[in-house]
Amino acid sequence: MDINLEINRRVKCWKENVFFKKIAQLTIQNVFDCNENEEDNLVEISVALVSKKEIKKINWNWRGVNNSTDVLSFAEREVKIKKTISQKNQRPKANKQEYLGEIILCCDFIAESAIMKKRNKEKELAEVFSHGILHLLGLSHGKKMFDIQKKVCQKISGLK
C-alpha cells in the first residue's frame, strides 16, 4: 500500500512528513486488508497544518461551531466500510487508487491538549491524525474507531 500525503504546512509543526506518513500507513493497514509492501494500491490524502485562528474559522464555516479544535476531516466521498470492519477478522480490500479527502490539523491545539491531559504530544498528534483518517474512511466515534487509534499509538512509541 502506497500512501501519498500532500502536506500544506501553513504553520510550524514539530513533526516531519515521515511521521504523518507512518501514522497514515498504520491506520490504513488496521482498516484495509493490505500489507506494507503492496505498492499497487495508492491512497491519497491532503493534510493542512493550520493555526488555532484558522481552524476556528473553518470549524465555524463548515460546522457552525465557533471554537478551535484539533482536527477536521473532509471526505471526498462517502465510504461505507464500518459494517465490514466490525465483522471479526474481515477487512475490506483497498481500491487501486483512491483520494480519501482532506484533514486539517491544528498542532498548537494538539500540543496544548497533550499538556492538559499529561500525555506525550507525539502520541496525541498520532491519535488525532489517525482519528481524522478514520473519519475519512467513514467510521464514526465508537469502540472500533478508538481501538484502532489506540493500536496505532502503541505502535508509534519508537517513532521519532
Task: Set out the domains of the chain in order of their start, with CATH numbers.
Answer: 2-155 (3.40.390.30)
Query: What's this model's pTM, rounded to 2 decimal places?
Result: 0.84
Per the prediction, the chain carries an average pLDDT of 85
Q: DSSP letter at 104?
A: E
Query: Rounded to a whole number, what is the distance in angstroms from the first to the last CA of the chain?
Result: 22
- Long-range (24+ apart) CB contacts under 8 A made by 152-158 are 152/23, 152/26, 152/27, 152/30, 152/126, 152/127, 153/123, 153/126, 153/127, 155/26, 156/22, 156/23, 156/26, 156/122, 156/123, 156/126, 157/123
Q: How confident is the model at residue 29 (pLDDT cuts 50, 70, 90)?
A: confident
Mean pLDDT of 56-77: 95
Side chain identity, residue 76: E
96 vs 14, higher pLDDT: 14
Q: How confident is the model at residue 38 (pLDDT cuts 50, 70, 90)?
A: low
**Residue with cell string 477487512:** 91
CA atoms of 51 and 116, how far apart (whole Å):
19
Determine the distance from the C-alpha atom of residue 21 to the mean position of all C-alpha atoms in its chain, rounded to a whole number. Answer: 10
Give yes or no for a contact between 106 and 51, defined as CB atoms under 8 angstroms apart. Answer: yes
pLDDT of 90 strictly over 70 = no
